[in-house]
Amino acid sequence: MILLKIQKEKIKILFIILLSVFLFSGCWDKSEPEERGFVTAMGIDKKGNSDFSISVEVPELGIFESEGGGESKGKDNEESENSYIESYSGKTIWSTVKSIDGKTDRKLDFGQIKLCILGEKILKDKEMVKQAIDALERNKDIWRKVIICSAKGKAENILKGYVGNRKTAGFFTAAFFDNNEKSSDVTFKKTLQDILSDLSYSGSTILPVMEIEDGEISFNGMAVIKDYSLVGYCENEIIKGYNIVREDIMETDITTKFNGIEVPLKVNKKNTNIEFIEDNSKVKCIISIDIEGDVEEYKNGRVPVSELEKSYKETVSKIIRNSFSYFKNELKTDVMKLSEYCRKKNIKLYKKFGKKDIFNNMELSENVTVKIKGTGTIN
């Protein structure tokens, strides 16, 4: 009995020793938080003919509390009370990041990254776009939900130019899309995961365009990427058509001009149905849109519901037609992913025309219904 008791005590002591080793060994060789530079945003630009220029945005640690292979060539450092931006250039993305790491007093950590911006020169270089996307995908520290945007110009200028209340461009962008994505008919969100999915299927994708003015960031326009290269930009009127067909537009406004007055309709519900039939050796795409909403303002007293519904219908139909025409005839890119819809809805028709030719042989027929459920009056 005594021997059994001694053996139990030995086992207990051994268990405590092993548990201590397990718990504390995880802390060995780890950097303390104050020794890390938590990257919240990264800009990828092109320098010269083939070099990458990488900029990282590293906030001061206090902000987190308030917010809840090439040789390096050149350095540019800009600091503020909230964050600092480090920029280096090199032959590959992660070798350049390592060069930045070797010049700062904190080890860079990409576990908190919110945003990656691709500069215009990068987007015009097919091979560099491929390399950039591949580098982001392969890095295990980069979250697949990181937001990807574009810049008309240098991505570095966006990071250095932002001085808004959110303290860093990364924090601002994450908060913007969390809070405002559905409240605007000209904004849309793209993550690394979205882009990888788009490119694997069709080799094309779209990116929000970031701009900066007087220290503030805005999202104006859409960059269209086809075969891993920039083919053009879309202005806000074209983005509206894309969003009406593809995105959730609840909480947004659709405005029609009625009797010379701009009348906004707040969208409460939207249903989209897309069908495909063959018509005169063409693929007819029938887009049916049902919208319900409330008239928010009308200055002439009583709201003529049936007449306004007709006006909204004509406005929405025109927006969809203009967007479809621009994507097909100007950019020659299936931004709305109608080919993919056809593959899912009518595989026989899809196979007959082929993946490459189906969008070129597509014609649009829109069927829009607008129902006004409530009205408000401003005299």
Stretch (H or E) spanning 110: none
48: left (phi over 0), alpha (psi -120 to 50) or beta: left
pLDDT band at 250 (very low <50, low <70, confident <90, very high): confident
Asked whether residue 297 carries a pLDDT value surpassing 50, the answer given is yes
- Are the CB atoms for 188 and 147 separated by under 8 Å? no
Asked whether residue 331 carries a pLDDT value surpassing 60, the answer given is yes
Asked whether residue 83 carries a pLDDT value surpassing 80, the answer given is no
CATH fold of 236-375 reads GMP Synthetase; Chain A, domain 3 (3.30.300)
Asked whether residue 228 carries a pLDDT value surpassing 50, the answer given is yes
66/117: higher pLDDT: 117
What is the model's pLDDT at position 73?
Answer: 44
pLDDT band at 324 (very low <50, low <70, confident <90, very high): very high
What is the model's pLDDT at position 14?
Answer: 52
Which residues, 6+ apart, have CB-to-CB distance to 98 below 8 Å? none
The pLDDT tens digits of the residues spanning 124-163 come to 999 999 999 999 999 999 999 999 999 999 999 999 999 8
**DSSP-assigned beta bridge partners for residue 57:** 41, 85
The pLDDT tens digits of the residues spanning 190-213 come to 999 999 999 988 889 999 999 999
Asked whether residue 312 carries a pLDDT value surpassing 50, the answer given is yes
Return d(Cα 337, Cα 206) in angstroms, integer.
11
Amino acid at 78: E
Mean pLDDT of 287-296: 93
- Two structure tokens written together for 299: 């200055």
List, by residue range, all CATH 3.30.300.210 domains of the chain: 236-375
C-alpha distances (whole Å) from 129 to each of 52, 121, 188, 217, 354 are 11, 10, 21, 24, 27
The pLDDT tens digits of the residues spanning 18-48 come to 445 444 444 444 546 566 789 999 999 999 9
Asked whether residue 325 carries a pLDDT value surpassing 50, the answer given is yes
Mean pLDDT of 303-326: 93
pLDDT band at 180 (very low <50, low <70, confident <90, very high): confident
